[in-house]
């Protein structure tokens, strides 16, 4: 972990609860999929489908990202986290809000309960933005990375606020625009503005470190941020005034160009890397971004007037392939080092201590990787062909994958200090 200030790491209670809870939500999501996955063949606006999607997006994806960001932002930008106590409070808000929202969607409890869940999540996003802003606002270097983190936090707040308004609209119907049209904007602001930019920003710093590669092409990162946010703003302006349709492909192409610009930087790091052999976490990342490419390729079918099952396949590539894939891989590049730092930093160089990669089971990691590949392929085939039997097979594969992940993460989190 060269070129980062590990002494700036926050308190463990500001980070670990997010990773532990995310694993629990991953298990919850997989069992929700087992019990009601067949509804994925229907329209995406169904109570149980909404519960499954939000358990994945909030309880799994956002939960892990909060924890990782609270750890990585201080060490990347060499500034102590503004407040570990506020970080833990954002965990309480996000966890309680997500639980309430999933329950409300599952049983379709429109009204006060759903709005309370949305409000708690929205407040957690504002607190997250505040903590990141106050931690990085005086940093003069790595400005391109600050742009990724800051814009992603802003769009997270925008996404949660819009989601809260949609929850209120279900009960009181005050929006003048179509609820489903606004829902599409809500989803894509979250996917592009929040998840995509945060992952690209963190990846621009972490991937070169893991590959032991360097690149001087940082100007492409600036272009990437500009194009992604330009495409997103144009999509929102157009989508608010017109239904999402073929015109939206233009804005999707702008966002894709932004991703390509980011890839120019990363590929240059890859070409000039010192570490030639890719480990399993990096293979996870490769499959993850391949899934993101597949998601972009399905967009022309998704924005048609009658998209059919393409919307569901698009969701598979985004949430199951891309988002889950990157988390499954990067967990083992970040969490073991955090635990190692908290457990052994005072013994480093004094006694013989285990390496971060020795805190988890390599065998379980291999099983996880192959389960992920099989589960993703079976899931995509099941949704594309509407094979109900294959969908149930995929659901159980995801459940097995979640169980393996939780066991291995548990080995890391509850690792006891050992030295010779």
Q: Was domain 6-413 assigned CATH 1.20.210.10?
A: yes
pLDDT tens column, 223-265 = 999 999 999 999 999 999 888 888 899 999 999 999 999 999 9
pLDDT tens column, 90-106 = 999 999 999 999 999 99
Q: Can you give the residue ranges of every domain in the chain?
A: 6-413
Does residue 3 contact residue 77 with C-beta atoms inside 8 Å? no
More confident residue, 349 or 315: 315
Does residue 120 contact residue 100 with C-beta atoms inside 8 Å? yes
pLDDT tens column, 194-213 = 999 999 999 999 888 888 78
- When pLDDT is cut at 50, 70 and 90, the band that residue 4 belongs to is low
pLDDT of residue 2: 45
What pTM value is reported for the model?
A: 0.93
Does residue 263 contact residue 224 with C-beta atoms inside 8 Å? no
The whole-angstrom separation of Cα 117 and Cα 97 is: 4
Q: Is 165 left (phi over 0), alpha (psi -120 to 50) or beta?
A: alpha
More confident residue, 7 or 130: 130
CA angle 50, 54, 55 (to 5 degrees): 115
pLDDT tens column, 349-382 = 677 888 889 999 999 999 999 999 999 999 999 9
């Amino acid at each position: 972990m060269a070129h980062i200030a590990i002494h700036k790491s926050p308190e463990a209670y500001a980070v670990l609860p997010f990773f532990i809870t995310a694993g629990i939500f991953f298990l919850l999501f997989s069992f929700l999929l087992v019990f009601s996955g067949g509804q994925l063949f229907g329209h995406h606006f169904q109570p149980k489908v909404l519960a499954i999607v939000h358990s994945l997006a909030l309880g799994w994806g956002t939960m892990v990202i909060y924890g990782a960001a609270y750890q990585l932002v201080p060490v990347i930008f060499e500034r102590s986290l503004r407040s570990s106590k506020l970080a833990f409070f954002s965990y309480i808000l996000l966890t309680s809000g997500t639980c309430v929202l999933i329950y409300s969607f599952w049983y379709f409890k429109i009204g006060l309960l759903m709005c309370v869940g949305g409000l708690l999540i929205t407040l957690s996003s504002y607190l997250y933005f505040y903590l990141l802003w106050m931690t990085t606002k005086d940093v003069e270097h790595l400005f391109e990375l600050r742009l990724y983190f800051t814009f992603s936090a802003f769009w997270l707040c925008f996404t949660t606020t819009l989601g809260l308004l949609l929850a209120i609209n279900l009960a009181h119907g005050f929006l003048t625009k179509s609820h489903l049209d606004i829902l599409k904007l809500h989803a894509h602001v979250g996917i592009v503005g929040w998840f995509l930019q945060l992952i690209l920003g963190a990846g621009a710093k972490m991937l070169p470190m893991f590959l032991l590669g360097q690149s001087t092409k940082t100007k492409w990162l600036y272009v990437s941020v500009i194009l992604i946010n330009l495409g997103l703003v144009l999509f929102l302006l157009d989508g608010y005034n017109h239904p999402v349709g073929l015109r939206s492909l233009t804005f999707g192409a702008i966002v894709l160009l932004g991703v390509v610009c980011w890839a120019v930087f990363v590929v240059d790091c890859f070409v000039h890397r010192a570490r030639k052999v890719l480990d399993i976490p990096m293979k996870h990342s490769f499959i993850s971004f391949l899934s993101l490419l597949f998601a972009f390729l399905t967009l022309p079918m998704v924005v048609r007037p009658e998209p059919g099952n393409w919307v569901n396949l698009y969701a598979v590539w985004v949430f199951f392939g891309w988002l889950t894939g990157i988390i499954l891989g990067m967990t083992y590049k970040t969490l073991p080092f955090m635990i190692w730092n908290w457990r052994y930093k005072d013994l480093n160089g004094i006694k013989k201590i285990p390496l971060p990669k020795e805190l988890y089971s390599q065998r379980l990691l291999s099983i996880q990787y192959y389960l992920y590949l099989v589960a993703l392929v079976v899931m995509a085939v099941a949704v594309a062909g509407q094979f109900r039997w294959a969908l149930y097979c995929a659901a159980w594969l995801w459940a097995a994958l979640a169980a393996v992940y939780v066991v291995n993460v548990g080995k890391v989190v509850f690792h006891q200090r050992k030295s010779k």
